[in-house]
Every structure is written in structure tokens, then in C-alpha cells.
Amino acid sequence: MLFNSIDFFYFLPIVFALYWFVFKESLKAQNILIVLASYVFYGAWDPRFLALIIISSIVDFYLGQAIYNSQEQRRRKLYLMASLAVNLGILGFFKYYGFFVDSFVDLLNAFGLQAHKSTLNIILPVGISFYTFQTLSYTIDIYRHQLKPTKDPIAFFAFVAFFPQLVAGPIERASNLLPQFLKNRNFSTEYAVSGLRLMLWGFFKKVVIADRLAQYVDIVYSSPSEFQGIPLIIATFFFALQIYCDFSGYSDIAIGVARLFGFDLMTNFQTPYFATSLREFWQRWHISLSTWFRDYVYIPLGGNRVGEVRKIYNLMVTFLVSGLWHGANWTFVIWGGIHGLILSFETIFRKSKPFNFVPNIIKGLFIFTIVCLAWVFFRANNVTDAFLIFKNTFSGLSIQLTSPLEFENAFRAFIPSLKEFKNVAISLILFGIVEVFLYNKSFHQLVDKWKAPLRWGFYYLIVFWIMYFGAFNRAAQFIYFQF
């Protein structure tokens, strides 16, 4: 079920009414409702894949207790390995089986050995990477003596399948979210209002910005050989904004919906494109994932407690794995490798600080450019297309920049309607102004300081903009659903 769908428009108020008016007096009944509602929400895509969530929940609930109760270290490790094997085994089969088989066949063919691809037509379950990482953090934290297992299976099942963040995060830690299912929750008007504000801004970013920009990005990236110069540059810039508004918009809606039910989810984005280093970018982009890889991959490899060479190795491994997490395609691995490489350079020069004299605005523009260049691999259909985009970007660019007629022709090549594009441009200006004020503060904190007339005027403006300029005809899924 999509947040931006008619089904969700009916689903949310029904669950909200049952939760607060029918089952208000029973914590167990509320948790059961959340489990059932989450399964309905997820099963709307394909009910067959509910079995995977249920299996993961059952396995980790009992293995978590087994790890905690076992006194023998060897046995504890075996239980943890069983949890990793089940969860990563399911994830690996559904997400990476075809990728590795195809890559192996291509490798054999490259050496002149004839091989044929005969992979299964496996459907990727929505959100499998997200809830797999979420439930893995539970057993790993118990193994590390950082968390005690719950004895309430309903609360645990609700934690794993909590519908607001089930399919695209934030990837919550059991230490933060699970205890919230174990204590009574009282309705808070202030909390609900803050949630509605986040939902409103999230829908604006998704429906007005991301889905509108998608139509221009798709035209160019679906046929990169047909474009040169300016269209490729603008499409890449648009994709940077599209993926940010799409994913952070989902996170805002998820956090907002959770607040309607009395839950607090972690912040997942904080104006990442204002970062002046790639390190800072990852402290602001997809925070729940970057901290997950930091705590469960980078630090176990040695983190910063090792020499410079080993530290760089740890960074590269972490980001290559992170790239592969994003998708079963070499484009994602290269994308992760680019980020790992730049972060390695930042690590080498961090102590000497040779660029302290450079103004922050220049640093910010440089980092944004690097991020956009890496997005080319992330968005391209394959590695060949990615390199073709880089090649064609400089073909004819000088002519387009020096000839007004060539510039106009290049611009119109992927902008079907100038009138519609003007609306998109105005929307981007509005979005950019708000983003500037959101630096180091949440949307709720920003709006809450405004006087009532300004605040309500802004609400009506955003609602109007969504209704009249939203791309409702696209019925677009969120980008990160494929991960």
C-alpha cells in the first residue's frame, strides 16, 4: 500500500479510530491491531511475502531469548549465526540470487567459456532490506549484551512489521522502538499535530517535487544515447533532488504517521545537500542506514581504532557493502565505491586540514557535485549507460552554452511543456527556501515558532500546491521500495 494512494487515505483513519477509540484501554489489543494493520498494509502488494516477515519475526524472537539465556559463548555465537543465516539467506536469495548467477555467467563468457543464464524469475519483496536489517539489530544487540530480549511476542511482531516504516525505514533499533510497544501510550494533541505537519511536508516533497521531476529524469535516463550536454546535466541535478525529496518525503510521512499513534521514530534526513564534506553528508543522509553500517559493519571491522591503511580498507568495505545493499547491480557497487574512495581521501587529510581556507559555500558546491556525479551510477540502468552519460555530457556542451538557439533546443528536448515546467520551477524555489530554514532543525520546530496566521497560511499554501501541482496521475512508488 502506498502512502500516496486512495487505499491509504481510507486505511489510516480506520486504524487510527480503532486504535484510539476502541482499543485505547488495552495495550495488548493496540499492539495486536498494529500487527494486523501492518500485515494488511504490506499484504496489499503481495500477501505471499507476509510469510517472510512472519518467519523472520518467529526466528529472531526465539533466537534472541536463546542467545540471552545461554551461558556458553560458543552456543551464543551459534544462535547468532543461525539468525544471520536465516535473515541474510532470505535476503540473499530474493535480492541477489539472479545478480550473482548472471555475474558469474558473464565472467565465464569473458574468458571464452560458454555459459547460459538460466536464473529464476524471482520477485523482490518490497522493503525486505529494511525489515531484515531492523530485526538483525535485535539479535546482534542481545549478543553484545546491549539489549535484553522481550518476552512479549506481540510487541516484537509489531516492532518488526510496524507499518509506517516497514518498507522504507527509518531502520529502527530495537533499543529505541521496541520499548515503545511495551508501555502504555496516551494520545497527545501536540504530538499528533507535529505528525500531521511532517506528513504534509512529506507529501509536498513526494507528490509535488519528486514525482514531477521524475518525468524529466526518466525521459533522459531511459534513452541516454539520444541526449547530449545540458539535458544530461539538468536530468542528473533533477535526480539528486528527486531522490532526496522522494526518500526524505517518505521518511517524513512515516515519522508523522507513527506520531499519530504515539510512537517516536528517529530522524532520517537533515538537509544533507548543505554538507561541506562527504563525512557530513552521510551524517545527514539516510541516517538510520549510515549509523547501522557504522555500528554493525564498520566498527566490527576495526573502525577508527586501527592504522590509516586498515581504516581506509574498513571504509571501502563498508561502502561497497552499502552499495550492494541498495541493489543487485554493479552500478550500486560503483556508487558505493565512489563514496568510500572520497571518504578515504577525507580521512587521510582530516588531520592536516589543507582546505580550511576554502569558504564553506565552495566546499558545499564541491561535495554536491561529487554526490551528483555518483548519482549517475545510482540512477543509470547499467554501467554502460552510466559511462555513456558521462561521455555525452561533454559532447556538444560548448555549442549549447554559446548558442542561444542550441541551448533552447537542448532544453526543449526533454521539457515537453514550458508552462508545466514553470510550475515545477516555482515549486523548487518554495522547497529551497524552506530547506534553508530547516538547517539543523526539524520541520515541526521551524513551523511551531511561527505565529498562527503565518502558520495556517503556510498550511493552506502547501495543501493548495499539493492539490493543484501534485503529480497524482503518475501513481509513482517510492524509489527506495526497490531496495
Q: Are residues 135 and 241 in the same domain?
A: no
Above pLDDT 70, what percent of the chain? 92
- pLDDT (0 to 100) of residue 128: 84
Q: Are residues 156 and 213 in the same domain?
A: no
**Local structure of residue 31 (DSSP, 8 states):** H
Q: Is residue 442 part of a domain?
A: yes
The parent domain of residue 204 ranges over 191-482
- pLDDT (0 to 100) of residue 284: 94
Residue 99 has pLDDT above 90, yes or no: no
- Tell me the mean pLDDT in the region 77-99: 84
- pLDDT (0 to 100) of residue 46: 81
- Mean pLDDT (the chain, rounded): 87
- pLDDT (0 to 100) of residue 124: 66
Tens of pLDDT, residues 189-202:
988 999 999 999 99
Cβ–Cβ < 8 Å for 276, 284: no
- How far is the C-alpha of 122 from the C-alpha of 100, rounded, in Å? 13
Q: Closest by alpha carbon to 478, among 169, 111, 84, 268?
A: 169
Count other C-beta atoms under 10 Å from residue 255's C-beta. Answer: 27
Residue 118 has pLDDT above 60, yes or no: no
**DSSP secondary structure, 354-402, as one string:** TTTTS-HHHHHHHHHHHHHHHHHHHHSSSHHHHHHHHHHHTTTHHHHHH
Q: Is residue 477 part of a domain?
A: yes
Domain end marker among 162, 185, 208: 185
Residue 256 has pLDDT above 90, yes or no: yes
Q: What is the CA radius of gyration of the chain?
A: 24
Cβ–Cβ < 8 Å for 178, 159: yes
- How far is the C-alpha of 383 from the C-alpha of 341, rounded, in Å? 18
Domain end marker among 185, 201, 231: 185
Confidence of residue 470 (pLDDT cuts 50, 70, 90): confident
Cβ–Cβ < 8 Å for 137, 174: yes
Tens of pLDDT, residues 296-352:
999 999 988 888 889 999 999 999 999 988 887 889 999 999 999 999 998 888 776
Tens of pLDDT, residues 396-452:
788 888 888 888 888 788 787 777 788 888 999 999 999 998 888 888 888 888 888
State which amino acid sits at residue 252. D
Domain end marker among 185, 211, 240: 185
Q: Is residue 26 part of a domain?
A: yes
Q: Are residues 156 and 195 in the same domain?
A: no
Q: Which of 46-55, 136-145, 437-446 has the highest mean pLDDT?
A: 136-145
Q: Are residues 153 and 198 in the same domain?
A: no
Helix segments in 115-229, DSSP class H: 128-143, 153-161, 174-177, 189-203, 211-222
Residue 234 has pLDDT above 70, yes or no: yes
Residue 59 has pLDDT above 60, yes or no: yes
End-to-end CA separation in angstroms for the chain: 16
Helix segments in 204-350, DSSP class H: 211-222, 230-260, 278-284, 287-293, 299-301, 308-326, 330-349
Q: Are residues 202 and 341 in the same domain?
A: yes
Q: Are residues 209 and 313 in the same domain?
A: yes
**DSSP secondary structure, 314-336, as one string:** HHHHHHHHHHHHH-SSHHHHHHH
Cβ–Cβ < 8 Å for 211, 470: yes
Q: Is residue 1 part of a domain?
A: no
Least confident residue range of 82-86, 134-138, 339-343, 356-360: 356-360
Confidence of residue 278 (pLDDT cuts 50, 70, 90): very high
Catalytic residues: 326
Residue 240 has pLDDT above 90, yes or no: yes
Q: Are residues 223 and 338 in the same domain?
A: yes
Residue 106 has pLDDT above 60, yes or no: no
Write the CA distances from 210 to 207, 245, 256, 294, integer angstroms: 6, 5, 19, 29
- pLDDT (0 to 100) of residue 450: 86
Tens of pLDDT, residues 149-179:
999 999 999 999 999 988 877 999 999 999 9
**Cis peptide before 170, with omega less than 30 degrees from 0?**
yes
Residue 68 has pLDDT above 90, yes or no: yes
